[in-house]
Amino acid sequence: MALSREQYDNIMLEYSRIRDEHRHELTRRRNLVYARIPEFRELESAVPSRAAQSLQELLGEESDAVNVRSKLQEDLEQLRLRREALLTGHGFPADYLEMTYACPHCHDTGYIDGQKCQCLRAREVRLLYDQSHLRELTAANNFSVLSTEFYQGEDLDRFRRAWQATWNFVNNFDSDYENLYFYGTVGTGKSFLSICAAKELIQSGHSVLYFSAAALFEKLSALAFNYQNKEEYRTFAEDLADVQLLIIDDLGTELASSFVSGQLFSIINERHLRRRSTIISTNLSLEDLRNRYSDRVCSRIISGYTACKLTGPDIRIIKKVRNNGANNKTK
């Protein structure tokens, strides 16, 4: 899939809106400084007049260009230090009047040296794939609603370890390449933790794709077996390989076939080569995994994923029973 012209223009418009916002914000801060420190404005206007003076000197007949320039540099640096001292002396941070950016890497232009910035890729991914289900999911499942009330004993220890692993995964996402494998019985929080990670990373501007295994392989086979979709298949496979975080939820609930097994290996393998992180959640134990897919899938996961086992009662059922109970009481 590729962006339409209109989608691309909309993204660029969004960037220009963000830049405008930051410029306005800078103007607001500058006016505040002028109001609190009247002499700051004078100090600022000293910069162009000092530069103009140097230009005059350079145009003079017996000017020493090197000397004039180095004197100018020196004076400008002095002025900068005096401005900084004024700001900090009045309780402002030294960089209070520096321009700020939502993305420090591309300065909210979407490009670095002609190459797409990660923030532009994240916007493209959000637009290209209907992530509305992910938006709904992250609204209901995130670290702020985390609760351990449903776990006890060993189940609780396991949940805490998995939670810690997810937290570390998110916090070290930009520096460490890591993959997570959540496995265990139904309704023990595996998808919940995956979606918590997705929410945090989307918020920090990363590109995230989330699929249930059934939907993922259905989409792949629909594209792969339709000759007319060749280009679309190629781009989809490329996005699956390149997105910063890929989540495959409920692995093992799709229909088993050699096509699925082959696709799963190529996704996992390609992402590993590119050091792109993946989270897999499943009811399958590592033993089941080997039986269902192939040795090579299994060995990639064992060697490259942090495995977290989750056990306990089915939380979805407990919540349902509770909700029904509450509804009955209000009747």
Q: Which residues bind Zn ion (CB under 5 A)?
A: 103, 105-106, 117, 119
Q: Are 304 and 273 in contact (CB under 8 A)?
A: no
> How far from 78 is each of 45, 65, 70, 96, 99, CA to CA, in Å?
14, 20, 12, 18, 21
Tokens representing 164 are 């810690």
DSSP state of 91: T
Q: What are 162's two structure tokens?
A: 């998995």
User: Which helix or strand (DSSP H or E) is residue 47 part of?
Assistant: helix 38-59
Q: How far is the CB of 154 from Zn ion (least distance, A)?
A: 44
CA distance 34 to 138: 43
Nearest distance from C-beta of residue 106 to Zn ion, angstroms: 3
- 3 state DSSP class of 181: strand
DSSP for residue 10: H
- Nearer to Zn ion (CB atom), residue 108 or residue 155: 108
Of 117 and 297, which CB lies nearer to Zn ion in the complex structure? 117
> Closer CB to Zn ion, residue 91 or residue 104?
104
Which residue reads 């696709």 in tokens? 263
Q: How far is the CB of 207 from Zn ion (least distance, A)?
A: 12
Q: Which is nearer to Zn ion, 108 or 249 (CB)?
A: 108
CB of 209 to Zn ion, least distance (A): 19
Rounded Cα distance, 2 and 84, in Å: 47
Contact by Cβ (8 Å): 293, 265: yes
Q: Which is nearer to Zn ion, 15 or 92 (CB)?
A: 15
Question: Which residue from 179, 169, 165 is spatially nearest to 275, judged by alpha carbons?
Answer: 179
Q: Which amino acid is at 168?
A: N
Residue 196's nearest CA partner among 219, 224, 173 is 173
In sequence order, which ranges of 90-189 are alpha helices (DSSP H)?
Answer: 118-128, 132-140, 153-171
Minimum distance from residue 17 beta carbon to Zn ion (Å): 15
Tell me, what amino acid is at 111? Y
Nearer to Zn ion, 117 or 260 (CB): 117
Nearer to Zn ion, 103 or 162 (CB): 103
Separation between Cα atoms, residue 208 and residue 243, nearest integer Å = 6
Q: Minimum Å distance from CB 151 to Zn ion?
A: 40
Q: CA 209, CA 245: separation in Å to the nearest integer?
A: 6
Q: For residues 108 and 250, which CB has a smaller minimum distance to Zn ion in the complex? A: 108
